[in-house]
Amino acid sequence: MTLTHLNERGEASMVDVSDKQSSHREAVATGRIVMQPETLKLLAEGDMPKGDVLATARIAGIQAAKRTHELIPLCHALMLSKVAVDFELDTANHCVRVTAFCRLEGRTGVEMEALTAVSVACLTLYDMCKAVDRGMEIMDVRLDRKSGGQSGVWERKAPSAMDVNESVTAETAALNTLDNTNERPVEIRFFAELRERLGIEKLSVLPGHLSSPTLMGLKEWIRSQVEAPQVLDQPRLLCAVNHDMVQGDVTINPGDEVAFFPPVTGG
């Protein structure tokens, strides 16, 4: 395996493609931008201060695909025959999923174009929504599929890098299979400043993994899972179990929803 963008001396070099067979090439890249549920709702309803977010991001993605060669030093200018950028609003995971599809009849692949389209569409979504939500995260930008050219078809097999929230849930899910129990997990939620400082919105744990089936046991488990456990030490941390405020230590049952949040400031 060699790096085709380096010459024999290890210097950067654009690959000479004049001898390559022209073939039908396609690539699909995906990515997502995770935002506050409220931001996603505003976006869905077209209430963003900057206007029609998705239409703008789509055009941005298409334009970016066409200009990939200007951004990526050793990339060829391509005559793309098709670029499509699509969005899926995922309310369950409060993110916008971006898919870019590029096609051409040519001598080099279109992966870079598809990846650039996804990246710039995500960046545009960020720009359009940042007035209401600066904490949005662009993640999982990756090639899902490519076809054509010498290497033929390549397809991503299993989902790769997951975000922090999901990886913890996935870990719990894995433990679940190992245990082979039907025990329902305890769902944990964080709100407002607490969520931002922890960088986590939701966690999930099987009661069997707690040192004790109590709020104290649950907090201890959360501490072992988060990067900034000291955030949970603030004296005015409020807690609700199944939508009711609780004080002191209480029993936690399978299937409970436990929420932690700072003092409320509505009205």
Partner 1 sequence: MITIQYEPFDIGNLHKRLSQGGHATGAVVSFVGRVRDFNESPEVTALTLEHYPGMTERALESVVERARSRWQVNDVIIVHRIGYMTPGDDIVAVLVSTPHRHAAFEACAFIMDFLKTSAPFWKKEHTRSGDYWVSERESDLASLKRWEQQ
Q: Which residues of 50-68 are buried (b: 16+ CB within 10 A; e: fewer)?
A: eeebbebbbebbbbbbbeb
Quick check: 130 and 39 in contact, CB under 8 A? no
For tokens 């960046």, what's the residue? 123
Counting Cβ atoms within 10 Å, is residue 104 exposed (0-12), middle (13-18) or buried (19+)?
Answer: buried
- What's the closest the beta carbon of residue 38 comes to partner 1, in angstroms? 5
What's the CA gap between 118 and 125, in Å, rounded?
A: 10
Closest distance between partner 1 and the C-beta of residue 161, in Å?
28
Active-site residue, selected from the candidate residues 127, 133, 144, 163: 127
| Residue 36 near partner 1 by CB under 8 A | yes
Determine whether the annotation assigns residue 123 to a binding site: no
Catalytic status, residue 127? yes
Tell me the β-bridge partners of 143.
Answer: 29
**Contact region with partner 1 (CB under 8 A), list: 13-21, 175-183, 186-194, 248-256:** 186-194
* Contact between 199 and partner 1 per CB under 8 A: no
Q: How far is the CB of 45 from partner 1 (least distance, A)?
A: 7
Q: Assess 264 for contact with partner 1 (CB under 8 A).
A: yes
Q: Which residue's CB is nearer to partner 1, number 111 or number 201?
A: 201
Q: Under the criterion CB under 8 A, does residue 9 sit at the interface with partner 1?
A: no
What are the Cα distances from residue 163, in Å, to 91, 123, 134, 188, 194?
16, 18, 18, 17, 18
Catalytic residues: 127
Contact residues: partner 1, CB under 8 A: 36, 38, 41-42, 45, 47, 49, 131-134, 189, 191-193, 196, 236, 240, 243-245, 259, 261-267
